[in-house]
Amino acid sequence: MAAELAATNAPEEIRRELVDVSHAMRDAGRAGDVPRFLELDIHFHSLLLTGSGNEMFANMVGQVAETLTGRTVHGLMPDRPRDTALQWHVDVAEAIAAGNPAGAREASDRIMRQTIAEMEPEWKDQPRVFVPVTRP
């Protein structure tokens, strides 16, 4: 949803920067430069979330950065991201830059579904945690 909103709401400078960052991510990923890839991945998602124009998404930047960092630190990220995943980030950025909300959402959805498929074995046998909501 954030990618779809960014395709509608992001200012031109964020759109251009997303494309540049996505290309740099692809280069770092192909080179196996994990620290640089992580730095760029965090920047990419920060631009996407803030570019959505949605305050809730913008406030998730820190959580997403921690999640991406945790995946890397705990060895849950491959040394070289899959070429398809790298291209999908470029696809998200280019769809946002082109003002194509449906294309941005579809490309982002591919990334999320692949990530879930890769991570699911790690949490499959873990108990689910449900935090109760306290209502006044």
The confidence score (pLDDT) of residue 11 equals 98
State mean pLDDT over 125-132: 84
Sorting pLDDT into bands at 50, 70 and 90, what band is 120?
confident
Torsion angle (degrees, nearest 10) of CA 134, 116, 93, 78: 120
Helix 34-51, helix 83-97: angle, nearest 10: 30
Q: Which range has the worst mean pLDDT, 90-94, 109-113, 132-136?
A: 132-136
Sorting pLDDT into bands at 50, 70 and 90, what band is 75?
confident
Which residues have a Cβ under 8 Å from the Cβ of 86 and sit 6 or more positions away? 25, 26, 29, 30
Give the pLDDT confidence of 89-104 residue by residue, as tens digits: 999 999 999 999 999 9
Give the integer Cα–Cα distance in Å for 75 and 87.
22
Amino acid of residue 10: A
Q: Is the pTM of this model over 0.85?
A: yes
- Percent share of the chain, pLDDT over 90: 73
The confidence score (pLDDT) of residue 76 equals 79
State mean pLDDT over 35-62: 97
Sorting pLDDT into bands at 50, 70 and 90, what band is 74?
confident
**Domain 2-116, CATH number (from 3.40.630.10, 1.25.40.80, 1.10.40.30, 1.20.120.530):** 1.20.120.530
CA 35 to chain CA centroid, Å, is 16
Query: Domain residues of the chain, as ranges?
Result: 2-116
Give the integer Cα–Cα distance in Å for 90 and 58.
21
